[in-house]
Structure 1
Amino acid sequence: MTIASLSSVSRGTGTGRLAALRLPPTVALSFAVIALVLAWSLAPGLFTGHDPVNGIPADKLLGPSAAHWFGTDHLGRDLYTRVVYGTASSVTSALIAVVIGVAAGGLIGLLAGFLGGWVDIVLARLVDVLLAIPSFLLAVIVVTALGFDTVNAAIATGVSAVAVFARVMRSEVIKTRQATFVEASFLLGGSRWHILSRHVLPNASRSVLPLAVLQFGLSILVIAGLAFLGYGDSPPASDWGLLISIGKDYLKWPWLVYAPAFVTIATVLSVNRISRWLRKTD
């Protein structure tokens, strides 16, 4: 092979790598939206100077303007500020739900798929029972038992997601366990713990990341739905679902519903787009 051909191959490889690293515009926009939401949750005071709890009665129910981007509510509080300060609760609750779902569901699926036998039968039947109950209904049942609180709503949402993660992890573990390199490790005398931790778990968990990202968006919706129904924190909290619930009582001033609903929808759609991109670039 000539130097020129080697040079062209090198340039082609470099171009291919750059193309692989280049994000589609919709994915880049989705990452920007998520970055903004995370910044709101970490440092809300940097994005607004209004008080999220105490308003100015004379400024109640003002429409969106340069002074109040999302308008004001019935107590004269800046709605944009309320949305920004409510982001921390919504994001934190969704993260708690995802962690519970990944940890509990992943462990159940890992044990069921790797051990097999009666362990697989028992755990698979448990997962089937959980899947037979609609996730939102299961979340309502759990949060009713634990008490009306945002953290309890997050726990309830995480419990409702356990079955999904368990089913995905179990199928991936079974597929990985039948791989040639796993059988070779068994023949070379590898212990079950070594094979599980070094071979099965790293390869089986690849499909869990896109699912966890997708579940993060779904958890935001479920927690917002629970807050809308009154199963979360009570006012003056500013969870996104609670803001929508309060706004529905003032239909003559639609921005009270549109603003928090738009932020919720934009966040969930961005998370879903990132999840689809992760699945394609696995």
Structure 2
Amino acid sequence: MSVPTTASTRTVVRRGQARLVPPTVILSFAVVAVVLSWSLAPGLFTGHDPAIGVPSDKFLGPGTAHWFGTDNLGRDLFARVVHGTASSVTSALIAVGIGVVAGGLIGLVAGFAGGWVDIVLARLVDVLLAIPAFLLAVVIVSSLGFETVNAAIATGVSAVGVFARVMRSEVLKTRRAVFVEASYLQGGSRWHILLRHVLPNASRSVLTLAVLQFGLSILVIAGLAFLGYGDPPPASDWGLLISTGKNYPLAPWLVYAPALVTIATVLSVNRISRWLRKTD
């Protein structure tokens, strides 16, 4: 006996299908989980010292003894990649934190206050967005000094304009919502409406953007380290490992291994961000 399909039944089916997590997203979460585990407890994944090598083991190819091979000093490349994860992840988190806090605050004030405040802050954001993000990061880190923390600060400042623009647009959209107007009519204060209604609803898109920016920050910070704007050797930032490895063309794993880890991490974070945007 067939059961008639009603509109409510189709809605339930669609909702049930929407809750299914695609395999690519599961794989992306697994990659990110591994990377985060490397950054929190690198000693659990490798027993090799990332800074001290064995001269007789120079330029060994990937194998069971050294998963990613060894470098010109006989250091285990897998250990260097794993121990360098903490610096890359921490720097990306700092960059995202600066972008979310500074950019979100600028967008929130501009969108909610309106008037001349919105005009002034909007022009400031336009100036930030007019400068290429990577170029702005290079200028800032050159002024602050060549360290990974400064590279993270520079990356965060370069992302302020993007977060401010998204937050402002979401605040303007939320201000026109019916429930906000109803709160005004019921005598709600501006602070109550801002904190109770506008900020929680406007921050959803910003949080999704923060996930995407985390992956972009890893890429930008790796690019800065590749150009020499990060910590000097014997640091093992991913970008620095790639930069050092390119000097030894007969040992291509010195470039391929950290580059593939960087690419896999960034693509996984981007895939998670797209999935979160669709399910929002």
For the pair 1:38 / 2:36, whether they are aligned, the reply is yes
CA–CA distance in 2 between the matches of 1:166 and 1:12? 39
Gaps of 5+ in 2: none
CA–CA distance in 1 between the matches of 2:42 and 2:48? 10
For the pair 1:67 / 2:65, whether they are aligned, the reply is yes
CA–CA distance in 2 between the matches of 1:24 and 1:18? 13
Alignment partner, residue 81 of structure 1: 79
CA–CA distance in 1 between the matches of 2:66 and 2:131? 43
Q: How many Å apart are 1:153 and its aligned residue?
A: 0.4
Q: How many Å apart are 1:15 and its aligned residue?
A: 7.0
CA–CA distance in 1 between the matches of 2:215 and 2:157? 16
Question: If the length of structure 1 is used for normalisation, what is the TM-score?
Answer: 0.94
**Equivalent residue letter for 1:88:** A
**Equivalent residue letter for 2:173:** K
**Equivalent residue letter for 2:243:** S
Instruction: Report the 3-state secondary structure (helix = DSSP H, G, I; strand = E; otherwise coil) of the residue aligned with 2:72.
Output: coil
Q: Give the alignment partner of residue 214 of structure 2, picking from 208, 213, 216.
A: 216
Q: Give the alignment partner of residue 148 of structure 2, picking from 150, 158, 176.
A: 150
Q: How many Å apart are 1:22 and its aligned residue?
A: 2.8
CA–CA distance in 2 between the matches of 1:116 and 1:10? 41
Q: How many Å apart are 1:20 and its aligned residue?
A: 4.0
Q: How many Å apart are 1:21 and its aligned residue?
A: 3.6
Alignment partner, residue 180 of structure 2: 182
Provide, for residues 101-152 of structure 1, a one-character-per-residue CA deviation record: whole Å limited to 9, x for no partner. 0000000000000000000000000000000100000001111111111110
Superposition map of 1:134-173 within 5 A: 134-173=132-171
CA–CA distance in 2 between the matches of 1:146 and 1:280? 39
Alignment partner, residue 257 of structure 1: 255
**4+ residue runs over 2 A deviation:** 8-22
**Equivalent residue letter for 2:201:** N
CA–CA distance in 2 between the matches of 1:235 and 1:112? 43
Alignment partner, residue 268 of structure 2: 270
Q: How many Å apart are 1:86 and its aligned residue?
A: 0.3
Figure out how many residues of one structure are paired with residues of the other and give that number: 278
Question: If the length of structure 2 is used for normalisation, what is the TM-score?
Answer: 0.95
**Equivalent residue letter for 2:234:** P
Alignment partner, residue 56 of structure 2: 58
Provide, for residues 186-239 of structure 1, a one-character-per-residue CA deviation record: whole Å limited to 9, x for no partner. 111111100000000011111112110100000000000000010000000000
- Quote the RMSD (CA, aligned, Å): 1.9
Alignment partner, residue 129 of structure 2: 131
Change (3 A) 1:55 1:103: same
**Equivalent residue letter for 2:145:** G
Instruction: Report the 3-state secondary structure (helix = DSSP H, G, I; strand = E; otherwise coil) of the residue aligned with 2:66.
Output: coil
Identity of aligned residues (%): 81
CA–CA distance in 1 between the matches of 2:190 and 2:232? 49
CA–CA distance in 2 between the matches of 1:9 and 1:203? 28
Alignment partner, residue 116 of structure 2: 118
Superposition map of 1:10-21 within 5 A: 19-21=17-19
Instruction: Report the 3-state secondary structure (helix = DSSP H, G, I; strand = E; otherwise coil) of the residue aligned with 2:203.
Output: helix
**Equivalent residue letter for 1:44:** P
Q: How many Å apart are 1:9 and its aligned residue?
A: 11
**Equivalent residue letter for 2:44:** L
CA–CA distance in 1 between the matches of 2:15 and 2:157? 40
Instruction: Report the 3-state secondary structure (helix = DSSP H, G, I; strand = E; otherwise coil) of the residue aligned with 2:159.
Output: helix
Alignment partner, residue 95 of structure 1: 93
